[in-house]
Amino acid sequence: MIETVDLTKKYGDFFALESLDLKLEQGDLFGFIGPNGAGKTTTIRILSTLLAPTWGEAYVCGHSIYTHPREIRRAIGYMPDIFGVYDDMRVIEYLEFFAAAYRIHGPERRKVAERSLELVDLTVKRDELVTSLSRGMTQRLGLARVLLHDPQVLLLDEPASGLDPRARIEMRGLLKRLQGLGKTILVSSHILPELADICNRVGIIEYGRLLACGDVQDLLAQVRGRPVFRFAVAGPPEAAARLLEKSPEAAAVAVRDGEVLVTLAEGVPDASPLAARLVADGQKLISMRESEVNLETAFLELTKGKLGKS
């Protein structure tokens, strides 16, 4: 559904995007992760045919951005990170206005607008003025607008930006629902953890370069390495750490935030011998858990030392 080949955008000597190779299949919910200025918006604008690349190629639904931009615009729904709304319109009027721009006429126009409102759970606000909507509801209205013509591909640039925690949760649920309808979704974000539990694939980008791309679990596996376990004891953690340092099952031991962190030695399958050693020594073991690697940890690890600021 989306493919880029050596996609590059330069401004003078500055690479906003450098040699991006990316491929998304139908039904993918792809998280495009990176800090502000990483190249996410540049990529989305090129894919939506609003910005021409310096070189490279991109295809959306099999259409080239160079030769078939109109076909691409019919196939996509593009939601920028900041978009204007007409405050003096009612919600249903706002959607009908854009439905007319998509050349949806007659009774079908109202039907399409109502369907989009229902899809984003905004039907209750159909007769309210756009200016009365909260930030989260305005974002949902923007999403309803790009769904009017039933696009195959959604390009969403920071759709959860500025939303409160409840609105972000609602937005994630809405994206999963759209994926269930067969939409291919590229969603960008600089808030790393919020995409980990909804995307089936993610790409990590920084300074215009794609550093890693694949399934969430595959990326986590790249940085997980040897298991690290956290031990909480009733007594001083330093005493427990000194004991565990003598264990052949421990490759490294450290005390952090009142807990003992132990990296298991090569070939050690689990931390049960370490727990048994603590108990045998008379230590009161409160808890033992494996330290999880999340998407934020993966981002920091995968970008560490690979790129420098230009």
76 and 134 inside one domain = yes
Last residue of a domain, which of 222, 249, 280?
A: 222
The closest of 243, 278, 261, 281 to 252, measured between CA atoms, is 261
**173-200 per-position pLDDT tens digit:** 999 999 999 999 999 987 666 677 789 8
Range of the domain at 247: 225-289
Does residue 85 lie in a domain region? Answer: yes
Asked if residue 168 has pLDDT above 50, the reply is yes
Residue carrying the six token digits 């330069």: 10
User: Same domain for 207 and 275?
Assistant: no
CA 78 to CA 75: how far, in whole Å? 10
Residues 10-36, mean pLDDT to the nearest whole number: 94
The tokens describing 45, both together, are 């604008």
117 assigned to some structural domain = yes
In a domain, 32, yes or no: yes
Do 123 and 258 reside in the same domain of the chain?
Answer: no
- Phi, psi angle pair for 17, to nearest 5°: -150, 130
Query: Are 229 and 215 in the same domain?
Result: no
Half-sphere exposure of 128 (CA within 13 A, CB side): 13
Domain count, the chain: 2
Q: Which of 191, 207, 222 is the last residue of a domain?
A: 222
As beta bridge partners, residue 253 has 262
Residue 262: which CATH number? 3.30.70.100
pLDDT digits (tens, 9 = 90+) for 49-102: 999 999 999 999 999 999 999 999 999 999 998 777 787 899 999 999 999 999
Same domain, 67 and 186: yes
- 295 part of a folded domain: no
| Token pair listed for 158 | 């920071």
- Tell me whether residue 309 is in a domain: no
Find the CATH number of the domain harbouring 87. 3.40.50.300
Domain end marker among 197, 222, 247 = 222
Please report whether residue 192 resides in a domain.
yes
Look at residue 86 in the predicted model and tell me its pLDDT.
81
Both 108 and 83 in a single domain? yes
Please give the full DSSP string across 3-54, using - where no structure is assigned: EEEEEEEEETTEEEEEEEEEEE-TT-EEEEE--TTSSHHHHHHHHTTSS--S
Co-location of 161 and 240 in the same domain? no
Kindly state whether residues 204 and 79 are assigned to the same domain.
yes
Residue 266 placed within a domain:
yes
Q: What is the mean pLDDT of the chain?
A: 89
pTM assigned to the model: 0.77
Question: What local confidence, expressed as pLDDT, does residue 291 receive?
Answer: 78
Same domain, residue pair 90 and 187: yes
Q: Are residues 235 and 150 in the same domain?
A: no
Q: Is the pLDDT of residue 165 over 90?
A: no
Whole-number percent of the chain with pLDDT over 70: 91
Q: Which residues of 176-193 are buried (b: 16+ CB within 10 A; e: fewer)?
A: eebbeeebbbbbbbbebe
Position 308 in a domain: no
Verify that 164 and 207 share a domain, yes or no.
Answer: yes
For 222-257, the pLDDT digits (tens) are: 666 678 899 999 999 999 999 999 999 998 898 988
Q: Are residues 132 and 276 in the same domain?
A: no
